Amino acid sequence: MLAVERLAAAYGDSRILFDIGFEVGAGEVVTLLGRNGMGKTTTIKTIFGLLPATAGRVTIDGRDMTGAAPHLIAQAGLGLVPEGRQIFPTLTVEENLVATSSRRVTALTKKVELQESTPSRVATWGLGGVYGLFPQLEERRRHLGDQLSGGEQQMLAIGRALMTNPTLLVLDEATEGLAPLMRQTIWSCLGAIKDAGLAILIVDKNVEVLARLADRHVIIEKGRVVWRGGNAEFLADPGLKERHLQV
């Protein structure tokens, strides 16, 4: 579904990514792990065309999308939940959701409908599906974006990305700055999204929870992939966290 090969990127004269490579298959949950400043967010920005790649390739469903405009990356099937949420503060919850809908869905249905015509897109997300996943958003659907709590804004950011009906959901710092109870809610909802068949690429610091959710892990250090492997391998080597993740 997503293949990143020898990806490199820079901010001006400062090279940040040198050799990033990993894959995400259909229905998989893959993590990008690493200490702060190691290049995780830069990797995501480069995948989405928000930062030009200086080398390497990004392939989505077999199509070379390296350097494509962000809206074309989204149309190819990637949905982004960015660091900092970046919701529209002067639009209501429902307007935020409908504004990004790939089908401009307005009808409320209380379940996620199956889309049989495209096997890789297991679930079709509309307002009903998002409200079923996040009931608090339905309760506050007429509130403006800047009237929501941080946790509610994160729910909205996830719901907004789901409304694009992606084949791969990408989350940068999925639970950063959220209260413990809200973090539990987000993790539970991500589990439900995985169960619906959607592939997920996720950046977060909560390694213990990620190890219960993810199929595979990729560890980045100083702009390079220093380890990648399955969840069982990751759990079998406790020294990985000490070497590459602890401050």
CATH number at residue 74: 3.40.50.300
pLDDT digits (tens, 9 = 90+) for 218-231: 999 999 999 999 99
Pairing of strands 29-33, 14-24: unpaired
Is the distance from CB of 194 to CB of 213 less than 8 angstroms?
A: yes
- The counts of H helices and E strands in the chain are 10, 12
Least confident of 103-112, 144-153, 222-231: 103-112
According to DSSP, residue 112 is labeled P
Which residues span the domain enclosing 129? 2-245
Q: Taking 50 as the threshold, does the pLDDT of residue 67 lie above it? A: yes
Tell me the pTM. Answer: 0.89
E-assigned strand segments in 101-215: 113-114, 123-124, 168-172, 199-203
- pLDDT interval class at 103 (50, 70, 90): low
Q: What is the pLDDT of residue 106?
A: 37
CA 200, 97, 137, 124 torsion-angle sign: negative
Cβ count within 10 A of residue 228: 19
Q: What's the average model confidence in pLDDT over 38-62?
A: 96
Residue 142: how many other CB atoms lie within 10 Å: 10
User: What is the pLDDT, as a whole number, of residue 105?
Assistant: 40
pLDDT(116) > 60: no
Mean pLDDT of 115-120: 37
Q: What pLDDT shows up at residue 124?
A: 80
Q: What is the average pLDDT across 127-146?
A: 95
Q: Is residue 160 within 8 Å of 100, Cβ to Cβ?
A: yes
pLDDT classification of 120: cutoffs 50, 70, 90? very low
Place of tokens 């509309």: 126
- Average pLDDT over every residue of 46-61: 96
**Band of residue 101 on the pLDDT scale cut at 50, 70, 90:** confident
Q: Once rounded to an integer, what is the mean pLDDT over residues 200-208?
A: 95
- What is the pLDDT averaged over residues 98-121? 48
Q: How many domains does the chain have?
A: 1
Tell me what pLDDT residue 247 has: 65
Q: How confident is the model at residue 108 (pLDDT cuts 50, 70, 90)?
A: very low
pLDDT in tens, 176-192: 999 999 999 999 999 99
Residue 104 clears pLDDT 90, i.e. is over it: no
Rounded mean pLDDT of the chain? 90
